[in-house]
Amino acid sequence: MVAFKVVDQGGKLSLQPGWVSRDLTSPLPPIVVNGLVFALAGGTAAKPAILYALDGKTGKELWNSGTTIAGHVLPTGGLSESASQLYLATADSTIYAFGIPIVSPALAAK
């Protein structure tokens, strides 16, 4: 996954690379909530999915789900967010919910 930033170069807008994430196994589209980028490595039948929380400005990994998710996510699956919760469903129809910090990491550091 690559993040780009919009830069004004003499009145013309252009895209410049901001940061690049680690390689993800079967990545699904990310979701951005409260300045955090949630990236999902969907995994495979032999390798469970892993959810990553990245700082939106730097791409620094802040957290990952480790071995919490027991299965893989189908390529047609994805992430959704509501009420400070992030949701995903694995191929065996198990639904996982993860809490999202309401305060951005930059504010929490102060």
Digit-coded pLDDT (tens) for 65-83: 999 999 999 999 999 999 8
User: How much is the pLDDT for 104?
Assistant: 56
Between 48 and 108, the higher pLDDT residue: 48
Write down the pTM of the prediction: 0.86
All structural domains of the chain: 21-108 (2.40.10.480)
Q: Examine the pLDDT at 15 and tell me if it is beyond 80.
A: yes
The phi-psi region of residue 35 (left if phi > 0; otherwise alpha if psi is between -120 and 50; otherwise beta) is left
Tell me the pLDDT band of 34, cut-offs 50, 70 and 90: confident
Tell me the pLDDT band of 17, cut-offs 50, 70 and 90: very high
When the pLDDT of each residue in the chain is averaged and rounded to a whole number, the result is: 92
Contact 79, 86 (CB under 8 A): yes
What is the spatial order of strands in the sheet that 36-41 belongs to? 27-33, 36-41, 50-55, 61-64
> What is the spatial distance between Cα 33 and Cα 31, in angstroms, rounded to a whole number?
7
Q: Examine the pLDDT at 100 and tell me if it is beyond 90.
A: no
pLDDT tens-place string over residues 38-66: 999 999 999 999 999 999 999 999 999 99
